[in-house]
Amino acid sequence: MTGGRTSGRADERLGQEQLPLAWRIFLVNAAVFAGGIVVLAISPATVSSPIELAELLVLAVGLSAILLANLFLVRRSLAPLDRLRTLMRGVDLLQPGDRAVLSSGERPELGARRLKPLVAHRLSIASVSA
């Protein structure tokens, strides 16, 4: 980190982090299922009316692959929340001056500066609706 700027990787992820969590998960699921459809469409696999054991095994393997890919990608999408949970466990709110230590090496005050406009926006929405 130089000159108070975040790392290039954090800058690259900024656009992705602006999407609501539900949309991020939806897009991950959509990509996995679309990939499964493409593989199914180009494969020579068929399913008989009374399903045969070999066909059932192929379907089970395909479903397992889709579920594993989905699990991996959703966990990756939720990783920032997991890091936040871990970080917050280490902070004692009753101890004045106790500060969180970020694993990325970023100074906490820089992260707080990025959150300030978001918090202000949420507060303005709350005050309008009250």
- State residue 4's pLDDT score: 42
Residue 34 lies in a domain: yes
Residue 1 is assigned to a structural domain of this protein: no
List the domain range (segments joined by +) for residue 61.
8-99
Q: Which residue has the higher pLDDT, 89 or 16?
A: 89
The confidence score (pLDDT) of residue 14 equals 46
Q: According to the model, what pLDDT value does residue 7 have?
A: 44
First to last CA, the chain: 41
pLDDT at 1 over 70: no
Q: Which residue has the tokens 């406009």?
A: 117
Q: What is the structure's pLDDT at 2?
A: 42
Give the Cα separation of 107 and 111 in Å (integer).
7
Structure tokens at 26: 């939806």
Q: Is residue 126 part of a domain?
A: no
Cα separation of 72 and 82, whole Å? 14
Domain count, the chain: 1
Domain membership of residue 123 (yes or no) is no
pLDDT in the model for residue 60: 92
Please give the share of the chain, as a percent, with pLDDT higher than 70.
Answer: 68
Residue 27: CB atoms within 10 Å = 14
Determine, yes or no, domain membership for 25.
Answer: yes
Assigned domain for 75 exists: yes
Distance (Å, whole) CA 28 – CA 69: 10
Tell me the whole-structure pTM to 2 decimals. Answer: 0.55
CB 28 within 8 A of CB 73: yes
CA-CA-CA-CA dihedral for 52, 57, 63, 64, to nearest 10: 170
Is 71 among the domain residues? yes
pLDDT of residue 108: 57
User: pLDDT by residue (tens digit) across 57-114?
Assistant: 988 998 999 999 999 999 988 888 888 888 888 777 777 766 666 666 665 555 566 6
Q: Is residue 54 part of a domain?
A: yes
Q: What is the 3-state secondary structure (H, E, C) of 59-101?
A: HHHHHHHHHHHHHHHHHHHHHHHHHHHHHHHCCCCCCCCCCCC
